[in-house]
Amino acid sequence: MPGNLSFIRSYFLPAPAALLLTLAASLTVVSCGTGEATQLHQGAGYHVGKGSGQTFRLPDGTIIVASPETTISLSKGFGKEDRAIELDGEARFDVAGKPNWPMVIRTRDLVIEVLGTRFKVNAYRNKPGEEVDVLSGSLRVHKSYHSDTDNEPEVLKDGEMVMINHDIDLMEKEALSPAEFEKLKGLW
């Protein structure tokens, strides 16, 4: 659907709205935003406030750069039993490669499985659309919900992206334009 790309992107990226977030009572929430690197530990949730982003280092060596108004929650067994993360917001990931032990990132509408790669996720819960852009490596993406139209996963490689909009039950894989790919490279 290349002719519909501008319609899809404008639908996926509506004007900002107030952030609504509820974290499970068992999580510890720390508000960050100073730009200092923070070591994350298992079972904790972190919220980056307004202003600048925040850089995080995970126990497995993964680096996450989270944008303002982003919340990251690590599973209670992160680094020991699994590598599971919940994300509400926008973040860049430089995932440490761990053969046979994928990292799993869950957003409202997506489940992203990755072994080692660099990519960006834009997935604010209060917006209808989400997007994943791959700089290098590969990852597997599928809907976090059952769809009446399509439940097949997508495998993304260097320079590819997937957009999803739960409201209209649409997930679409595309190549990044050369300009978009260069902009993504500039983030690292």
Residue 20 is predicted with a pLDDT of 24
pLDDT higher at 14 or 113? 113
Domains, in order of start, for the chain: 26-186 (2.60.120.1440)
- 58-84 core/surface letters (b: 16 or more CB in 10 A; e: else): beeebbbbbbbbbbbbbbeebbeebbb
The whole-number average pLDDT for the span 3-22 is 29
Distance, CA of 101 to CA of 165 (rounded, Å):
29
Residue 37: band (very low, low, confident or very high) from pLDDT cuts 50, 70, 90: low
Q: How many CB atoms lie within 10 A of CB 9?
A: 13
Instruction: Please write the tens of the pLDDT for every residue from 130-180.
Output: 999 999 999 999 999 988 888 889 999 999 999 999 888 889 999 999 999
Q: What is the reported pTM? A: 0.77
pLDDT above 80: residue 24: no
The whole-number average pLDDT for the span 101-114 is 93
Specify the 3-state DSSP secondary structure of 131: strand
pLDDT above 50: residue 23: no
